[in-house]
Amino acid sequence: MPRIDADLKLDFKDVLLRPKRSSLKSRAEVDLERTFTFRNSKQTYSGIPIIVANMDTVGTFEMAVVMSQHSMFTAIHKHYTLDDWKLFAANHPECLQHVAVSSGSGKDDLEKMSNILEAVPQVKFICLDVANGYSEHFVEFVKLVRSRFPEHTIMAGNVVTGEMVEELILSGADIIKVGVGPGSVCTTRTKTGVGYPQLSAVIECADSAHGLKGHIISDGGCTCPGDVAKAFGAGADFVMLGGMFSGHTECAGEVIERNGQKLKLFYGMSSETAMKKHSGGVAEYRACRCVSSELAVMTGCTMWMGQELGNSGPLPWADTLHFLPLIPHPKAYHEDVGFGCIM
């Protein structure tokens, strides 16, 4: 008999953060930087806990250059070659502490990742990303990677329930990616009926991870800066964003022109677009679980981040694209609820 879970589960859109008295005079007093020590790798990392997703349209070297300037992290997509990594490391050594090498769970994936980490030893983060984080094969793969790279910090996912968070941490992962189906170009929930409301997933998975001194990433489902604040409020240690970073000049999506407007393609990594690009087509046993979107080309994260951190207000395209500048809003959240830092 299937087990029916009748408990109420919540998404970001279902809740608001209640304000409370604050001793802070200004959001300028809020410090978004955090320092983490990871359970299994024993490594320490300091930075603003925002991660650009390991999608080939946003998790680019160009994005990493900009993000690292502001102590933010990029999970580099897995389709760069070894030579690409060597060139990036030679030209931008200052970025390497803020990036992760991404990998699937196949034999070829492991070999490629090992070659990259050997060639670029300054990179200390690994992002293991598969469609089904619940498979026994994936758990065994995490154990294998941990045995080969005992001092690297491992991100692994995606899952949405506490028991799987615990199993992956005990198998060697340090940070668990939480989220099945909430992404803006993900259709897993409509194609398969599988998923979990993201806010509840973060709350429950954070509790399980923190009990083992592990950490979690809220991956997907953020459509505005307020959702990022809610994810942190729910217990996420990091928040991973894809769609909110898409369409910038640092992104790798193809640029097309329609009616005089330049558009950039953004798609999920299980979309037909991605599978045709990287795998030569859609395998018979696979269903496309993501879609492609066309976004107006933005002026670039370089400009956006510079204006943002300079506190000069929203960019001209913010209202058009329903996208507000990211950094001040989590700061405003922490001021409004009385915290001087991300807890």
341 catalytic? Reply is no
The encoded tokens of residue 109 equal 């994936």
Nearest to 144 by CA among 109, 110, 104: 110
189 marked among binding-site residues: yes
Residues in the chain, how many?
343
Q: Is 269 assigned a ligand-binding role in the annotation?
A: yes
Any known ligand binding at 106? Answer: no
293 is in an annotated binding site: no
What is the distance, to the nearest Å, from the Cα of residue 330 to the centroid of all Cα atoms in its chain? Answer: 16
For residue 111, which of 86, 141, 75 has the smallest C-alpha distance?
141
Which helix (DSSP H) or strand (DSSP E) does residue 145 occupy? Answer: helix 136-148
Cβ-based neighbour number of residue 94 at 10 Å: 11
Q: How far apart are CA 172 and CA 155, in angstroms?
A: 10
243 annotated as a binding-site residue: yes
Find out whether 219 is annotated in a ligand binding site: yes
* The one catalytic residue among 60, 74, 161, 186: 186
Is residue 186 annotated as a catalytic residue, yes or no?
Answer: yes
Q: Give the Cα separation of 232 and 330 in Å (integer).
A: 9
Residue 242 among known ligand-binding residues: yes
The answer to whether 268 is annotated as binding is yes
Q: Which residue has the tokens 């329609």?
A: 258
Q: Known binder of ligand: residue 220? A: yes
Catalytic residue among 57, 60, 161, 188: 188
289 annotated to bind ligand: no
Residues forming the annotated binding site?
A: 26-27, 78, 129-131, 180-181, 183, 186, 189, 219-221, 242-243, 268-270, 285-286
Pick out the residues of the known binding site for K(+): 181, 183, 186, 189
Query: Would you name the residues annotated as active-site residues?
Result: 186, 188
Per the annotation, binding residues for GMP are: 219-221, 242-243, 268-270
